[in-house]
Amino acid sequence: MFIQESPQQTLKESSSFTVAKFGGTSVADFQAMLRCAHIIKNDNSNRLVVVSASAGVTNYLVRLSKKNISVVEQTEIITHIGTIQFNITQHLSNVIVQTLNAEITALLDELSVHALKQSQQYSAKQGDAILSFGEQLSSRLFAQVLQSIGVNSAYFNVQQVMKTNSLYGKAVVDIEQLASACSEWLTPKFTKQVIVTQGFIGQDGLGETTTLGRGGSDYSAALLAEALNANNLAIWTDVVGIFTTDPRITEQARAIKEISFGEAAEMATFGAKILHPATLIPAMRKNIPVFVGSSKEPEKGGTQIKQVVASSPTYRSIALRREQTLVTVKSPAMLHASGFLAKVFSILAKHELSVDLITTSEISVALTFDNPSGSTQALLTSAVVQELEQLCEVTVEHGLSLVAVIGNGLDSAKGIGQSIFNTINDVNIRLICHGASANNLCFLVDEQDANNVVEKLHNELFT
Ligand code: ADP
Ligand code: ASP
Ligand code: MG
> CB atoms < 10 A from the CB of 291, how many?
18
> CB atoms < 10 A from the CB of 201, how many?
29
Question: Do residues 280 and 290 touch, judged by C-beta distance below 8 A?
Answer: yes
* Whether the predicted pLDDT of 138 surpasses 50: yes
C-beta of 104 in contact with ligand 1 (< 6 A): no
Of 2-11, 61-70, 173-182, give the lowest mean pLDDT range.
2-11
> Looking at 185, 218, 238, which one is the last position of a domain?
238
Number of domains in the chain: 2
Q: Is residue 7 part of a domain?
A: no
Q: Is residue 257 part of a domain?
A: no
Tell me, yes or no, whether 226 and 342 share the same domain.
no
pLDDT of residue 13: 55
**Residue 26: band (very low, low, confident or very high) from pLDDT cuts 50, 70, 90:** very high
Tell me, yes or no, whether 323 and 197 share the same domain.
no
Phi-psi region of 336 (alpha: psi -120 to 50; beta: other; left: phi over 0): left
Tell me, yes or no, whether 27 and 134 share the same domain.
yes
In angstroms, the CA 118 to CA 347 distance is 29
Q: Is residue 328 part of a domain?
A: yes
pLDDT of residue 209: 98
> Looking at 238, 255, 281, which one is the last position of a domain?
238
- Point out the ligand nearest to the CA of residue 23: 1
Write phi, then psi, for 291 (nearest 5 degrees).
Answer: -105, 140
pLDDT of residue 68: 86
Domain of residue 30, CATH code: 3.40.1160.10
Q: Which of 374, 348, 441, 456 is nearest to 402 (CA)?
A: 441
Mean pLDDT of the chain: 92
In angstroms, the CA 448 to CA 398 distance is 12
pLDDT of residue 10: 44
The residue whose CA is least distant from atom 5 of ligand 2 is: 215
Dihedral, CA of residue 35, residue 37, residue 40 and residue 44, to nearest 10? -120
> CB atoms < 10 A from the CB of 76, how many?
14
Kind of pairing between the strands at 364-370 and 358-360: antiparallel
Q: Which of 322, 324, 319, 318 is nearest to 419 (CA)?
A: 318
pLDDT of residue 336: 63
Sign (positive or negative) of CA dihedral 286, 287, 292, 298: negative
In angstroms, the CA 222 to CA 224 distance is 5
* Whether the predicted pLDDT of 8 surpasses 90: no
User: For residue 185, what is the DSSP state?
Assistant: I
C-beta of 169 in contact with ligand 2 (< 6 A): no
**Of all residues in the chain, what percent carry a pLDDT higher than 90?**
78
Of 262-266, 311-315, 386-390, 433-437, give the lowest mean pLDDT range.
433-437
Tell me, yes or no, whether 327 and 200 share the same domain.
no
Tell me, yes or no, whether 136 and 229 share the same domain.
yes
**Residue 2: band (very low, low, confident or very high) from pLDDT cuts 50, 70, 90:** very low
When pLDDT is averaged across residues 395-406 and rounded to a whole number, the result is 94
In angstroms, the CA 322 to CA 388 distance is 24
* Whether the predicted pLDDT of 344 surpasses 60: yes
- Of ligand 2's listed atoms, the one at least distance from the Cα of 217 is 8
In angstroms, the CA 231 to CA 229 distance is 7
Tell me, yes or no, whether 339 and 200 share the same domain.
no
* Whether the predicted pLDDT of 11 surpasses 70: no
> Looking at 185, 208, 238, which one is the last position of a domain?
238
Domain of residue 403, CATH code: 3.30.2130.10
When pLDDT is averaged across residues 325-352 and rounded to a whole number, the result is 84
Tell me, yes or no, whether 330 and 219 share the same domain.
no
Question: Do residues 314 and 410 touch, judged by C-beta distance below 8 A?
Answer: yes
From residue 197, alpha-carbon distances to 99, 136, 388 in Å are 19, 8, 43
Write the secondary structure of 135-151 as one string of H (helix), E (strand) and C (coil). HHHHHHHHHHHHHHCCE
C-beta of 237 in contact with ligand 1 (< 6 A): yes
Residues 238-280 have pLDDT tens digits of 999 999 999 999 999 999 999 999 999 999 999 889 999 999 9
Residues 184-216 have pLDDT tens digits of 999 999 988 999 999 999 999 999 999 999 999
The residue whose CA is least distant from atom 6 of ligand 2 is: 215
Residue type, 244: T
Q: How many CA atoms lie within 13 Å of 73's alpha carbon, on the beta-carbon side?
A: 14
Q: Is residue 386 part of a domain?
A: yes
When pLDDT is averaged across residues 58-66 and rounded to a whole number, the result is 97
Q: Is residue 320 part of a domain?
A: yes
**Strand ranges for 282-435 from DSSP E:** 290-294, 302-306, 315-330, 358-360, 364-370, 393-407, 429-433
Tell me, yes or no, whether 215 and 68 share the same domain.
yes
Question: Do residues 65 and 124 touch, judged by C-beta distance below 8 A?
Answer: no
Distance 246 CA to ligand 3 centre (A): 13
Residues 350-366 have pLDDT tens digits of 888 888 889 888 788 89
Residue 412 lies in domain: 315-462
pLDDT of residue 375: 66
In angstroms, the CA 444 to CA 100 distance is 49
Neighbours of ion ligand 3 (CB under 5 A): 23, 215
Q: Is residue 133 part of a domain?
A: yes
**Residue 342: band (very low, low, confident or very high) from pLDDT cuts 50, 70, 90:** confident
Q: Which of 216, 236, 183 is nearest to 40 (CA)?
A: 236
pLDDT of residue 370: 85
pLDDT of residue 7: 43
- Point out the ligand nearest to the CA of residue 322: 1
**Residue 449: band (very low, low, confident or very high) from pLDDT cuts 50, 70, 90:** very high
**Residue 3: band (very low, low, confident or very high) from pLDDT cuts 50, 70, 90:** very low
Q: Is residue 104 part of a domain?
A: yes
Q: Is residue 9 part of a domain?
A: no
Tell me, yes or no, whether 84 and 185 share the same domain.
yes
